[in-house]
Amino acid sequence: MTGGMYSQALGLTQKSYSTLTQAMHLSKQYPPDERNADLSWSHHREAAPIQNRDERQAVLRQAVDEGWTREQMREHGKGDTTPTAKVTTCPQCGHAW
């Protein structure tokens, strides 16, 4: 994207320059057929460092199947393959879910 194109995009989207450059980087990392519509841009950003395409796709599928949050994707990227689920506890009875 050229400087003029960024200027136009900044004006049209009202997004920051940083957001636009990150979006450009991710769009190059993930061709349209590799993007998962069930996951957020942030999920894809967390998986982007995985160089092997098949491994990255497997992680994205696992994130969908297990309902991972962006934070859980980040934990996986740090080598924790079993992200900790967020636990909510009832203040009255102590039941956790």
Give the predicted TM-score (pTM) of the model: 0.65
Of the candidates 58, 52, 88, which has an alpha carbon nearest to the alpha carbon of residue 73?
A: 58
**Spatial distance between the Cα atoms of 5 and 58, rounded to a whole number of angstroms:** 34
Residue 23 has pLDDT above 90, yes or no: no
Better pLDDT: 69 or 90: 69
For residue 89, the cross-strand partners are 96
